[in-house]
Amino acid sequence: MKRIQLLSGFQYTLPLLIGIAPFGMIYGVLAVKAGFPAAAAQAMSAILFAGSSQFMIVNLVAAGSPWLVVVLTAVVVNLRHALYSASLAPFLKHLPAGWKAVLAYVLVDEAYAVGIHHYEREGSAGHQHWFLLGSGLAVWVCWQASTALGIFLGAQIPAAWSLDFTLALTFIAIVVPGLKNRPLLLSAVTAAVTTVVAHPLPYKLGLILAALAGIAAGLWSERQ
């Protein structure tokens, strides 16, 4: 049963890897261009394992930003993971601390999207957490491999390919099927509009503002 759940989580996540792989390659290319040693660039993917934060770190380091700014920006960008954890907490509260630590490490955007849909359908009884682990491992393997490929290829990937756009398509595929009611739809629209309006803010603070605005809009709609 554990193996079935693990493989099922891996399988359900495979379509999303189409958008993750180019994103990882671009990160590898940019990290090398920014002066990161190949080993350091790969280690960041293995240890931090957070694409958005990794891109921000690379860009800020390349721009000569102070390390305090780099660290604080990475923390702010990753605050959304606290929301993921809060959403999954009711399904994972029965697990031991070791399991929670492992799942927290692999709880990236795509794994959360696949995992929360599975938990809402199946509940948390049995070995359902192996499904979430399988999903997270699928993303982890893809991210490490694509990062390594990007580091190896370096500047050989033409900018005209616009591979970074595949990530936006991936997130659209994640979000749209979940917009099943008015609060969720209003939350998504509010966050999208806020993202565009707040785009000029430094250190990608517009993303955090958009997340907070979307949450506020969804909560307001639920209370109407």
CA distance 108 to 87: 13
Range of the domain at 113: 2-162
CA distance 89 to 126: 16
In a domain, 134, yes or no: yes
In a domain, 169, yes or no: no
Tally of structural domains, the chain: 2
Q: Are residues 48 and 135 in the same domain?
A: yes
The structure's pTM equals 0.75
Q: Are residues 196 and 105 in the same domain?
A: no
In a domain, 156, yes or no: yes
* Joined tokens for residue 100: 């929670």
One digit per residue, the tens of pLDDT, for the chain of length 224 reads 788 888 898 998 998 888 788 888 888 888 888 889 999 999 999 998 988 888 888 878 887 878 887 888 788 778 778 888 888 888 888 889 999 999 999 999 889 888 888 888 877 677 788 999 999 999 999 999 999 998 888 656 665 555 555 556 656 665 666 667 777 788 888 888 998 888 888 766 777 788 788 878 877 877 77
CA distance 175 to 116: 12
Determine the 3-state secondary structure of 99 from DSSP.
helix
CB proximity list for 15: less than 8 A, separation 6 or greater:
173
